[in-house]
Chains A and B, each alone.
Chain A
Amino acid sequence: MLKRNPFRFLIALATMVTLMIAPAHARVEININKGNVEPLPIAITDFLQGELGQKISDVVAADLKRSGLFAPIAKTAFIEKITNPDAAPRFEDWKVINAQALVTGRVTQEGDGRLKAEFRLWDSFAGQQMAGQQFFTQPENWRRVAHIIADAIYEQITGEKGYFDTRIVYVAESGPKTARKRQLAIMDQDGANARGITNSNDIVLTPRFSPNKQEITYMSFEGNEPRVYLLQLETGQREVVGNFPGMTFAPRFSPDGQRVIMSLQQDGNANIYTMDLRSRTTTRLTSTAAIDTSPSYSPDGGQIVFESDRGGRQQLYVMSSGGGGQNRISFGDGSYSTPVWSPRGDLIAFTKQSGGKFSIGVMKPDGSGERILTTGFHNEGPTWAPNGRVLMFFRQNAGAGGPQLYSIDLTGYNEQLVQTKGFASDPAWSPLLE
């Protein structure tokens, strides 16, 4: 089944086996709710044997470092050379260089050609193993294995799910602004394995992942008819969502993946509709002489946040999933747009325009507790990592030729450029891969 798949990155990881030694009670931990935490010094040794082992450990280290919560120690500082990753290391050698945690591992080729990757996570100061797992996969999936190991380490130490074994779909942009080419592209969350998934003949915008299928909804100007589409990643098959009498845009999936919610433009007004992907029935949720757009479901599917200029400038509103009880939640200076509900349900991220600046911020679903994470000439379009800890968005600096992707911690710390080959906008984070 998997061999027919033209998108190699979709190949599921084969198996995961927890190694025999039971994890000890960890003393090493990071409380990630404290804000600007001191990154945890961690030693990530080269996995045995050879070049591939070293590449895997480098990807693990890069993931953990980019999270801002870990400080991988330079390999040149290591005293002990790991020769048997299954045996307890000389903890004294690691304590001396202040490696609070230590990762050892091995990668080997099985008789059937599969790759076997094993790792152990050690607490140097407690002198104990914290975790140990092994994975089997096809050799070309070695980066995924590395991301899964990084997720396991992140979860073991922070107590929260990781987000490294994920992908980003985005709009890759090239050419001058007056003749910009756009295509949908997909890449691993660390920027690796980037590839285009549509051609660049038509304007394509706002791709979003299905929560549970290898499917994307996005907007395309194909045939000069701006419409919301579905794209099956495994087959490349595309279809228009619904048969609406006007431009449809701003699509997102419902949390169960069964509906697409979007705006329909008719004359000067935009209203919010859903389409059930099984029954193909459409339901109208808002009905105002205003622009109602950028709808996003709460993770339990019970509520929808959206933006509307019904009161003058764009503001955020919350309604029930049936369209009832539409209440404004944003009341700060300026205008608010592109609301996205956190996968944890506790916050709504948004773009805010105020005083000629564009900011990314978060607020609680009742509108309280607004916090601005980053401000500048132009920041737009936040998307949540599946664990609700990290946001990605796009930024264009004044004078820049185009936008680029950035990630930032929920606390507002650890802003990082996400490397893409050309300009990039409209990032959307995938769920954790399965």
Chain B
Amino acid sequence: MSRIHAQAAGRMQSIARNPIMIALFASLALAACAKKPMNSAGDLGLGANSAATPGSTQDFTVNVGDRIFFDTDSTSIRADAQATLDRQAQWLAKYPNYAITVEGHADERGTREYNLALGARRAASTKEYLSSRGISASKIKTISYGKEKPVAVCDDISCWSQNRRAVTVLGGAGM
């Protein structure tokens, strides 16, 4: 399992008197140890197959999957990511009232300015794929956060691979 688990566990012992800190590190450890890429529902502690209302944001993040992951320095859509985006496209076709924002992100193993462009490129290739699956490009906005918004925090590939991502946000930022 990833390194953060051990680190977080170690820290938990040293800060055992502070319940807030324990909760924080426990959720970090859970996030980093998830075998499957985590999604927003995981962040909220919701189990999969929860009784999300069909067509809701929760339905999208939990049952469809709101994010895809990239290889190092790559912007091409991997096979596993294609499956996720295909589900996203089907869902968005079913619920056509949603516009989306695709947020592109990079891991922290690059320089800040380049990573802004790399995140933008990932968002653009995600947008391109979704349009090729029938989602109107005019309904897709993109934004890059470069390496500024990691979701997993440790100093090895177990975290970096989760941070190289494109997240589809329903009616997202700036819409």
Contacts and interface: CB of A to CB of B under 8 A. Distances in A.
B112 A293 contact: no
A328 interface: no
A399 B113 contact: no
Contacts of A247: 116, 120, 143-144
A206 B120 contact: no
B114 A337 contact: yes
B112 A268 contact: no
A226 B143 contact: yes
A338 B112 CA distance: 9
B113 A294 contact: yes
Interface string B33-76: 00000000000000000000000000000000000000001010
Contact of B114 (A267, A268, A294, A398): A294
A353 B110 contact: yes
B100 interface: no
A249 B112 CA distance: 10
B9 interface: no
A291 B174 contact: no
Interface stretch (B79-87, B89-97, B150-158): B150-158
Given A226-B143, A268-B125, A377-B155, A263 B113 contact: yes
A399 B159 CA distance: 13
A381 interface: yes
Contacts of A56: none
Interface residues of A, number: 42
A377 to B, nearest CB: 7
Nearest to A290: B117
A180 B151 CA distance: 11
B104 to A, nearest CB: 10
Interface residues of B, number: 29
Interface string A314-338: 1000000000000000000000011
A205 B148 contact: yes
B111 A338 contact: yes
B116 A249 contact: yes
B167 interface: no
A75 interface: no
Contact of B113 (A176, A221, A309, A338): A338
A114 interface: no
A402 B145 CA distance: 17
Contacts of A313: 73
B45 to A, nearest CB: 16
Contact of A178 (B75, B120, B151, B155): B151
A178 B153 contact: yes
Contacts of A180: 148-149
B116 A265 contact: yes
A313 B72 CA distance: 12
Contacts of B114: 291, 293-294, 307, 309, 314, 337
12 contacts: A178-B151, A219-B116, A224-B173, A226-B116, A250-B113, A250-B116, A291-B118, A293-B116, A314-B114, A337-B111, A353-B109, A398-B155
Given A268-B75, A270-B117, 14 more contacts: A178-B149, A226-B143, A226-B144, A247-B143, A249-B117, A250-B113, A263-B117, A267-B121, A268-B120, A293-B116, A294-B111, A377-B155, A378-B108, A398-B155
Interface of B: 7, 24, 73, 75, 108-114, 116-118, 120-121, 124-125, 143-145, 148-151, 153, 155, 173-174
